[in-house]
Each structure stands twice: as C-alpha cells, then as structure tokens.
C-alpha cells in the first residue's frame, strides 16, 4: 500500500508535467520584455521579500480541490508517514546537514545547491532573466499550497512527537503553519522543473536535486512523507498552468537565450 500511495502521487506529478511540455513561442519584437528586478515586478509582502509570481492568485491551481485529505490515523499511508519519521531520526549526520541547509529559503541560498549541477551562478546578475524566472515561479509554487495548508492545518511530525527539527529557529513559525502539503517541497520541485526546461541536458541531476530538496523536509522532521508527495503534485500543477502564461513563456525564452549567448 505504501508503494501504491507513493506511486499514485508521483504518477500524477509526471502526467501533469509531461502533458504541458510544449515548445514556447519566442516573444515578438513588439512584445514587452519581462522585468528582471523586484522593483518592477513588485514584492510579495514587506515580510516576504520575494518578487510576485507570474500568476494571479485566482489563477493558481486549487490545492484543496486537487489533493486528497492528508492520511488519517490507522491508514497505511499514515503508517508510511510514521515509518519515514523514524527513519529520519536515524539519518546520518551529513544528510541531516543537507536537510538543515535545504530548510533555508533565503535568496540566493535556496538555489545555490543547484548551481554545481547547472554549472553557473543563478543569482550573480549574469543571467537576470533566468534568475527572475526561478524566483517568480518559486513564489507561484509556494502560494499554490496555501488553500490546502490553511484548510487542513495538519500538525507537523516534530510537534506530534514532541521532538525537534534540524533548524530550531524555524520551529515557532512551523508550529502555527499547516504541514500538508509541503511548501518547501513545492518550491524545490518547481526550481528543478524550471531548470530542467532550460537545461534539458542536465535533467536527471536537476530533478534528483529537486527531489532531495523535498526529501529534506522529512529528514528534518518538519514534514510527513505524504506532505512532500503532495507538494510535488501541486508544484507540477502550477508548472503546467505557467505554460499558458505569456509573461512566463517570454521570460523563459529570454532565459534560454542568456544560456546560449557568448559569455
């Protein structure tokens, strides 16, 4: 049952992405060039210094409609969550350290673990359209989890087990924030999907890093396994929706051009 539950989520994620993998039309010469600064895009809030996403909140996939409820006590899926929690407690020190690093969503830290795979900086200003593509898409992924999070208000594993996480400074906030689905996982998976789109030759390594980014939330005891599976599904749905956004498509094409331009 555990394998079936996991495969069902992952299959849905794969289908959502593969169904929208079309070639974008390059922006026309008369089309406005997407901005590359937060000042031009607008900031999410004063407390969250991220650029606004591409999608209007009403256009985001409804995670409450898309996802099933979180696993109930006594089910095989909840037993799988508990098994993953116990395994996380025994994770080696180096994996715990990576999980603690992945928990930091500050910019540019959140993309730095992808840079060795990409073979370039994703934040030093040399690829401004790629940088903005990643930042705005990540914001869309994060916000796409909010309806289900707010509705279910699932208790996080470290709280249910009266334990701790790999990043204690985040725990007061996490205690007040719903666990299902995982926003961190949605962000990490979105970063991997966007980078795979513009760097298809590196897709396996990029997707592996994106998967590990979400897996880190389980290692950190900040999320249940099922939270992360749901986070990838929501991110994939959001990525699918972005394919029809003209500004996203235009900025993606400009990001591709940055990667082939002489350095």
Displacement of CA 12 from its chain's centroid (Å):
16
* 182-189 mean pLDDT: 98
Task: Give the model's confidence band at 45: pLDDT under 50 very low, under 70 low, under 90 confident, else very high.
Answer: confident
- Calpha distance 55→180 (Å, rounded): 22
List the catalytic residue out of 227, 232, 241, 256: 227
Percent of the chain topping pLDDT 90: 81
**Residues 12, 23 contacting (CB under 8 angstroms):** no
Which of 156, 217, 221, 232 does the annotation list as catalytic?
A: 217
Active site residue 217: yes
Domain limits of the chain?
Answer: 84-263
| Span 56-87, pLDDT tens digits | 999 999 999 999 999 999 999 999 999 999 99
pLDDT in tens, 100-120: 999 999 999 999 999 999 999
pLDDT number for residue 48: 72
In whole angstroms, give the CA distance from residue 15 to residue 117: 25
Report the number of secondary-structure helices (H) and strands (E) in the chain: 15, 0
156, pLDDT greater than 80? yes
pLDDT higher than 60, residue 244: yes
184 annotated active-site: yes
Residue 33: pLDDT over 90: no
Identify the pLDDT of residue 31.
Answer: 57
Query: Are the C-beta atoms of residues 146 and 50 closer than 8 Å to each other?
Result: no
The pLDDT value given to residue 262 = 54
Given the residues 52, 221, 223, 252, select the one marked as catalytic: 223
**Joined tokens for residue 124:** 């030093």
Give the homologous superfamily in CATH for domain 84-263.
Answer: Phosphatidic acid phosphatase type 2/haloperoxidase (1.20.144.10)
Task: Please check whether residue 252 is in contact with residue 198, taking contact to mean a CB–CB distance below 8 angstroms.
Answer: yes
Residue 254 CA to residue 203 CA, distance in Å, equals 19
Q: Is 161 a catalytic residue?
A: no
- Which candidate in 184, 221, 232, 252 is catalytic? 184
Whole-number pLDDT of residue 177: 95
Q: Which two tokens stand for residue 64?
A: 């409450």
Q: What's the Rg (C-alpha) of the chain?
A: 18
Rounded to two decimals, the pTM is: 0.88
Q: Is pLDDT above 90 for 29?
A: no
Q: Decide if 240 contacts 19 (C-beta within 8 A).
A: yes
Bridge partners for 51 per DSSP = 43
Coil, helix or strand at residue 51? strand
Active-site residue flag, 256: no
**Residue (of 177, 183, 182, 184) closest to 155 by Cα position:** 177
Reading the block at residue 155, the tokens are: 């208790």
């Amino acid at each position: 049952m555990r394998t079936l539950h996991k495969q069902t989520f992952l299959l849905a994620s794969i289908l959502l992405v593969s169904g929208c993998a079309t070639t974008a039309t390059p922006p026309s010469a008369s089309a406005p060039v997407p901005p590359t600064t937060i000042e031009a895009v607008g900031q999410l809030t004063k407390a969250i210094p991220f650029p606004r996403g591409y999608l209007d909140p009403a256009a985001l996939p409804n995670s409450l409609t898309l996802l099933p409820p979180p696993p109930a006590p006594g089910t095989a899926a909840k037993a799988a969550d508990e098994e993953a929690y116990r395994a996380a407690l025994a994770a080696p020190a180096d994996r715990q350290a990576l999980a603690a690093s992945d928990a930091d969503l500050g910019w540019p830290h959140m993309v730095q673990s992808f840079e060795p795979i990409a073979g370039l900086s994703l934040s030093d200003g040399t690829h401004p359209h790629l940088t903005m593509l990643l930042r705005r898409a990540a914001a869309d992924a994060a916000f796409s989890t909010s309806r289900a999070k707010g509705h279910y208000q699932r208790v996080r594993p470290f709280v249910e087990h009266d334990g701790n996480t790999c990043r204690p400074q985040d725990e007061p906030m996490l205690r007040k924030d719903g666990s299902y689905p995982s926003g961190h996982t949605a962000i990490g998976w979105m970063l991997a999907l966007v980078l795979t789109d513009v760097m298809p030759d590196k897709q396996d390594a990029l997707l592996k890093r994106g998967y590990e980014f979400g897996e880190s939330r389980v290692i950190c005891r900040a999320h249940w396994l099922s939270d992360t599976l749901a986070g990838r599904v929501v991110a994939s749905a959001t990525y699918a929706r972005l394919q029809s956004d003209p500004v996203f498509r235009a900025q993606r094409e400009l990001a591709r051009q940055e990667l082939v331009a002489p350095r």
